[in-house]
Amino acid sequence: MKTIFPVSWIRKASVALAVALFAAVPAWAGKYASIVIDVDTAQVLHARDADEIRYPASLTKVMTLYLVFDAIDSGKLKLNERMTVSKAASRQQPSKLGLKAGATIKVEDAIRALVTKSANDVAVVFAEKLGGSESKFVAKMNAKAKQLGLEKTNFQNASGLPNRKQVTTARDMAKLAEAMFLDHKDRFNYFSLPSFTWNKRKYENHNTLLKKVAGVDGIKTGYTNASGYNLMASATRDGHRVIAVMLGGTSGRSRDQHVSDLLEAAFMELSGAPATSLADLRERISFGERGNATADDLALNQLRKLSDPGADPIGDLIASATDDGDEAGTTEEGDDGVEVAEGEDTGEVAQGDATGEESSTEPAKPAVAGSVAAQPIALTGATAPAAIPASEAVLVTSEFTGDSSILPVVDVATLSLN
């Protein structure tokens, strides 16, 4: 005889279990890291654990796209060219478009799919097209990473799907974002696409800061269980371009708010705002992304780690009770898209029809405010004391490491990658 457990009871019991563990298990397993730079001057406006090893998740696709744009610039690839989908590409884990082996996809559609849907099958299509195989393309990725000065980054695949050896740092990801902007300005506006439509299904860009924060015009989000919630953001105001990178968030919501805080604080610093105006932002930033995480965010994060569907019935119950749309193997927050009517306006930049067969016309070049200095980001170590007063949380050209034990946040176990 089966016993049916109400989902609401399971959810309450599961959350209570996670909250009860908060005081018993030490902090965060080193996922969080962040950095903010002023692209115009190459100044580091904020850094916290910026040189510590982390997992890039879908931020990997920024390097994949960098090489795609290189190939377009050199004439090796054309926007209206069609690429064939292999069996290996079609078998990639979500997030994906669900491309079938033997099907084809235009280069420009594929670019848009990577930017918005963060499709892993599309990443492999590009890798095989440009490298002959994904492994050979990865060698090109690592060669380019070395050329760009990404000193602690190593790629193992083109998508960001879990791999223990696929690692990076917040500083390296900021360098990559800076290089993408400086070297491919004429294509950078792809990262500001609000949505992408494929086979009558509309996929919203996961980077919600595009709609919420003034001046944000890219660049990429990412998520795996091991990485946490990552975000690489670029914004421009009053002639200043700022890039912010945060890795290892507890939830998409708190990550987005934290990066928003980092950007706001950076622009206020650059505009000479008085310290009193920055006080609240500095206090939140001094706690890292935890300063914006609710109790529900933290509890559900622990439950996501505790759950191991298929391992035991309890794990299955917890997983079903706390499913928020994230997929264990995914490199994104995941969505299934929204059905759109034939010919419906998708709100995309330079879009064609609503079936995924879009215009091959190159997007208009974005306006670039202010002068841009092409200097690399300085690699300087974090030498400040571990405990940082909130008033000093954001200082131009200052870097610091934070005290990770400020809050009794639990990480039940260091989550291993599949």
pLDDT per position as a tens digit, 25-79? 333 347 999 999 999 999 999 999 999 999 999 999 999 999 999 999 999 999 9
H/E segment holding residue 180: helix 170-183
Mean pLDDT for 381-393 is: 36
Mean pLDDT for 268-292 is: 75
What domains does the chain contain, in order, with CATH numbers? 31-392 (3.40.710.10)
pLDDT for 16: 53
Longest Cα–Cα distance of the chain, Å, equals: 72
List b or e across 137-151, with b for residues whose CB sees 16 or more CB atoms inside 10 angstroms: bbebbbebbeebebe
Contact 215, 236 (CB under 8 A): yes
Mean pLDDT for 99-127 is: 97
Q: What is the mean pLDDT of the chain?
A: 75
pLDDT for 367: 40
- Percent of the chain exceeding pLDDT 70 equals 61
The residue among 397 and 158 whose pLDDT is bigger is 158
C-alpha atoms less than 13 angstroms from C-alpha of 351 in its C-beta half-sphere: 20
Instruction: Tell me: pLDDT of 394 over 90.
Output: no
pLDDT for 272: 85
Mean pLDDT for 372-377 is: 37
> Does the model's pTM come out above 0.85?
no
Return contacts of 233-239, CB within 8 angstroms, 24+ apart.
233/207, 233/209, 233/259, 233/263, 234/177, 234/181, 234/188, 234/191, 235/209, 235/263, 235/267, 236/369, 236/370, 237/267, 238/267, 238/270, 238/271, 238/369, 239/40, 239/369, 239/370
Angle, helix 60-74 to helix 134-147, in steps of 10 degrees: 90
pLDDT for 331: 60
Q: At 227, is the pLDDT very low, low, confident or very high (cuts 50, 70, 90)?
A: very high
C-alpha atoms less than 13 angstroms from C-alpha of 204 in its C-beta half-sphere: 10
pLDDT for 371: 35
Q: At 152, is the pLDDT very low, low, confident or very high (cuts 50, 70, 90)?
A: very high
Known catalytic residues? 58, 61, 118
Q: Assign 125 to helix, strand or coil.
A: helix
Edge-to-edge strand list for the sheet holding 338-339: 195-198, 201-204, 338-339
Say which residues have a Cβ less than 8 Å from residue 259's Cβ, sequence separation at least 6: 209, 231, 233, 244, 246
- Percent of the chain exceeding pLDDT 90 equals 56
Instruction: Tell me: pLDDT of 137 over 70.
Output: yes
Q: Assign 232 to helix, strand or coil.
A: strand
Smallest CA-to-CA distance from 232 within 185, 173, 281 is with 173
Instruction: Tell me: pLDDT of 400 over 50.
Output: no
Instruction: Tell me: pLDDT of 349 over 80.
Output: no
- What is the distance between the alpha carbons of residues 25 and 15, in angstroms, rounded to a whole number? 16
Contact 237, 267 (CB under 8 A): yes
Mean pLDDT for 275-286 is: 74
Instruction: Tell me: pLDDT of 374 over 80.
Output: no
Instruction: Tell me: pLDDT of 86 over 60.
Output: yes
